[in-house]
Amino acid sequence: MTATFQANYRRLVKLTKLLSSYVNDGRHRQALVLFSQMLAADDLAVDPFVFPLALKSSAALGLRQCVASLHAYQLKSGYLPNNPFISSSLVDSYGKCDAIADARQVFDESHERNAIVWNSMISLYAHSNDVEGALTLFELMDVPPTEASFNPIMAALSESNCSSSRAMEFYERMRALGLRPNLITLLALLPLCVSVGSLGSIKEIHGYGIRDCIISHSHLGSGLVEAYGRCGCLVYARKVFDEMKHRDVVVWSSMVSAYAFHGDAGNAMHMFHLMGSDGIHPDGIMFLSVLKACSHAGLADAALRYFEVLTKVHGVEAGSDHYSCLVDVVSRAGRLKEAYEIIVSMPVKATVKAWGALLGACRNFGEVGLAEVAARELFAIEPENSGNFLLLANTYAAAGRFKEAEMIRREMEERCVKRAPGSSWVLSRKGLAFVGHP
């Protein structure tokens, strides 16, 4: 090995480390400039392991053409189609540039597809909401699947309201192969368990977290607190919270939300004030949790006070969800004109939640005039929602104005708006079953 070769090799290693630091620090434009300089240097033999760094920066900047240029260079250099490391990087990079067809072409033309290459393409389909594409590709795998093969599909299925049973079945397939769930798996499963109210499954996830020593992870901790709270097990929710050594604002928000969900405004407010003494500053999520606590307990004045404190003292920006929740709590208290004034004066566009809260309260308190205003706004926003028509019709009927109620039902027929059937999930030893209600 000559002295010149050794010097060039040391220089390549040094520049590769610098390139890696640029990429990891998010300095992607500097990374691409450095990569171009390395590629142009005649005395540097850039190896294939440098290309994924340039691809990562190109994808982060959304430079699809740059990804395509790197792809062409690697084909010309002979690195493809026999390098699975580069193939998986290309699939990821094209995917982040929303070029799914290009990513699939790389996948199809790759001669050596290991689990990483398969997982990259499966993950891309799942994250693009093409769950069926991800499942089809999974079934075609000619290498043993790994945890990373299952996780993106389970996450996508659990986010789909109609795929809870399939997500659970997919999880059972993972266990049958002897694969242990990791943090990503558990985080994907928690929303599914909450959606079907499976407290036993939540406890199982909790046990996995303890055995695998990942229970201290803030994402899992906050997820468990929320899951236990949603399933009515506040004792376990508080136990997980108390045992966490590092509690960020997300964990605190989950605990406040758990109390709020069950109408325990006292403990919810107590936790909010404890958070302040712990040096944690509230964010938009905590803001919403506090307002929901007031809403469930019917504390309209408290909600208005907290709204002012959080926006003016803590500087938290109020969004449409915050205003909708404020409208809800004020409406529930029967202060309908005040709720309407909040809607028309809010700096963001009123949503279905805000108008829906007002309409529902008008039905309960017999306020026909504001009910008509809210209903017409809702008819314009979601013209196919039969619930809004029925609420207004019932408001008329409760006020003895049966002619107007009949006119609304006739308007539903003219617009071809049909009443949506109810549905529910049934959890048994045989799994999940979807049940429709006429």
In this prediction, residue 428 carries a pLDDT of 52
Q: Do the beta carbons of residue 50 and residue 83 sit within 8 Å? A: no
Please tell me the predicted confidence (pLDDT) of residue 194: 87
Q: Is the pLDDT of residue 366 over 90?
A: yes
HSE at residue 285, side-chain half, CA atoms within 13 A, is: 13
pLDDT tens, residue by residue, 105-157? 999 999 889 999 999 999 999 999 999 999 999 999 999 999 999 999 988 88
Residue 431 confidence class, pLDDT cut points 50, 70, 90: low
Res. 364 pLDDT band, cuts 50 70 90? very high
In which band, very low, low, confident or very high, does the pLDDT at 434 lie, cut at 50, 70 and 90? very low
pLDDT at 155: 87
The pLDDT tens digits of the residues spanning 318-342 come to 999 999 999 999 999 999 999 999 9
**Cβ(357)–Cβ(329) below 8 Å:** no
- Stronger pLDDT, 168 or 298, i.e. the higher one: 298
Find the mean pLDDT for residues 273-277.
Answer: 88
pLDDT tens digits along 186-230: 998 898 888 878 899 899 999 988 988 888 888 999 999 999 999
Cα distance between residue 438 and residue 428, in whole Å: 22
Statement: residue 5 has pLDDT above 90: no
Q: Percent of the chain scored above 90 by pLDDT?
A: 65
Confidence of residue 167 (pLDDT cuts 50, 70, 90): confident
Measured CA to CA in angstroms, residue 105 lies from 84, 101, 108, 109, 130 at distances of 14, 6, 5, 6, 17
Residues 235, 214: Cα–Cα separation, whole Å? 21
- What is the average per-residue pLDDT within 300-326? 94
Say what the pTM is.
0.71
Q: What is the pLDDT at residue 430?
A: 52
Decide if 19 contacts 36 (C-beta within 8 A). Answer: no
Per-residue buried b or exposed e for 5-26, using 16+ beta carbons within 10 Å of the residue's own CB: eeeeeeebeebbeebeebbeee
pLDDT score for 426:
53
Helix (H, G, I), strand (E, B), or coil: what is residue 316? coil
Q: pLDDT per residue over 243-252, tens digit each? A: 998 899 999 9
Name which of 118-122, 163-167, 409-413 the model is least confident about: 163-167
Picking from 46-50, 174-178, 305-309, 312-316, which range would have the lowest pLDDT averaged per residue? 46-50
pLDDT of residue 25: 95
* List of domains in the chain: 1-112 (1.25.40), 345-438 (1.25.40.10)
Separation between Cα atoms, residue 32 and residue 26, nearest integer Å: 11
Residue 34: its pLDDT value, please?
Answer: 95
- 335 CB-near residues (< 8 Å, 6+ apart): 300
- Give the CA count within 13 Å in the CB-facing half-sphere of 115: 8
**Whether pLDDT at 30 is above 90:** yes
DSSP 107-154: HHH-S---HHHHHHHHHHHHHTT-HHHHHHHHHT--S---HHHHHHHH
